[in-house]
Amino acid sequence: MKRTLRHLADGREIIYFDDQEAPPERTARDTRDLPPVAATSEIRRDPLTGEWVGMAAHRQTRTYKPPADLCPLCPTKPGKPSEIPEADYDVAVFENRFPSFAQGVHGEASTVDDAGVVPIAPGKGRCEVVCFTSDHNRSFAGLAPSRVRTVVDAWADRTAELSTMDGVEQVFPFENRGEEIGVTLHHPHGQIYGFPFVTPRTARMIEVAREYHAEHGRHVLGDVLAAERASGTRVVASGEHWTAFVPPAARWPVQVQLVPHRQVPDLTALTGAERDDFAGVYLEVLRRCDALYGRPLPYIAAWHQAPVRRDRELCWLHLEVFSVLRSPDKLKYLAGSESGMAVWVNDTTPEQIAGRLRDAVTSAQAASPA
């Protein structure tokens, strides 16, 4: 893989990750007349839960469902400049023009209304966009395994880079797919957030892992993984280094966790063999998901990585894929107990979810691109 760093017209970084044997030199210049990015992000701490909430009012003007011929993630064409100046690319990562968190945010830590009750601080971090392919009509499930490996390498590269940036406490790569999820750009892409705090979900998993290790001397996800592999009831796909299974307490109508067999804190720690094996297992999972209802499944794919500076020994990297689609034409809406109290009620069982995914196609791997 070849990595090339360039800059857009407003100074934002763009990094090309090429997996071609002889990639072209990335010399195209961004000819747009762009004003500097002016992020005004801040974070406020909820005094009742202790959770941080981001405030990013400048994002109200971000790009919203442009026509395909004006897609800002497609390669630049004559007369149609985009966020990516090159005429073609393999994988491209660039700073988000409408970031939720940014390095250039100014301000001092204080409290709301100077009352000393609600802490407030600059939303210092980093937000990036990851374009998986230059093909507007492709999906992640349609990528070749070699391209998925390039994406994994790009995720690992950006995890390492963002982890060194001022204010970043946790790096979160993810993909939102489908309008039902809220996607406003249909080009196959994901994002990476460098949060200025450890997220509530991660903090809770660390707390549980610490308690479990104190009692059993082992990692809770390691024991869950061993139990799922031994049972096989909820396993959807597996490889030499990864197993994908429906979690035994699944919340969503479609939910799969992909877990490496070896405990590592983040993507940077994966070996080449583990990255290659992930590509095959993940593609099988995604193809089964798309075959489930005979239509592209809207989903969120979220990487759970260790915080940058603490409790890394208590974390076990894994990917979680879940969907709000509970039937071909019905969505799961969060009910009062879920939205109000975070008490989830699933309309199906994990065993039923896993069985439907296993039966979705005769052999998802048979559909793999050459």
58 is in an annotated binding site: no
Active site (annotated) includes residue 216: no
b/e map 247-274, b = 16+ CB within 10 Å: bbebebbbbbbbbbbebbbbbbbbeeeb
Query: For residues 284 and 368, what is the distance between their CA atoms, to the nearest angstrom?
Result: 8
Residues 6+ apart with CB under 8 A from 148: 140, 278, 279, 282, 283
318 in a labelled binding site: no
Q: Is 136 annotated as a binding residue?
A: yes
Q: Which of 58, 189, 304, 318 is catalytic?
A: 189
Active site residues: 189
Q: Which residues are annotated as a binding site for Zn(2+)?
A: 71, 74, 136, 187
Q: Which residues are annotated as a binding site?
A: 71, 74, 136, 187
